[in-house]
Structure 1
Amino acid sequence: MNQTQTITLYQPLLHRLALKMVGSWQDAEDIVQDTFLKWLTLDQEKIKNTKAYLIKSVTNSCINHLNSIKRKKNEYLDAINPKEFVEKLDLSHIDIEHEISTALAMLHKKLEPVERAVYLLREVFNIEYDELQQIVNKKKENCRQLFSRAKEKLAIDTSKISFDMVNSAQLIESFKKACSFGEPKELIEDLRLEISQKA
Structure 2
Amino acid sequence: MTDGGTDAATAVFVAHRNLLFTVAYEMLGQAADAEDVLQETWLRWVRVDRSQVRDERAYLVRIATRLALNRLRDVKRRRESYIGPWLPEPLLTAPDVADDVELADSVSIALMVVLETLGPTERAVFVLREVFGFGFDEIAAAVDKTPAAVRQIAHRAREHVEARRPRVTVAPAEVRAALETFKAAVESGDVQAILDVLAPDVVLISDGGGVKQAALRPILGADKVSRFIIGGLRKGGADVDAVASEVNGNPALVFTLGGELDGVLTANVQDGRITGLYFVRNPHKLTRVGEETELARR
Normalising TM by the smaller chain, what interval?
Answer: 0.3 to 0.5
Give the TM-score of the pair, scaled to structure 1: 0.36
Greater Rg by CA: 1
Which one has a larger percent helix, Structure 1 or Structure 2? 1
Tell which has more relative contact order, 1 or 2 (C-alpha 8 A, sep 6+). 2
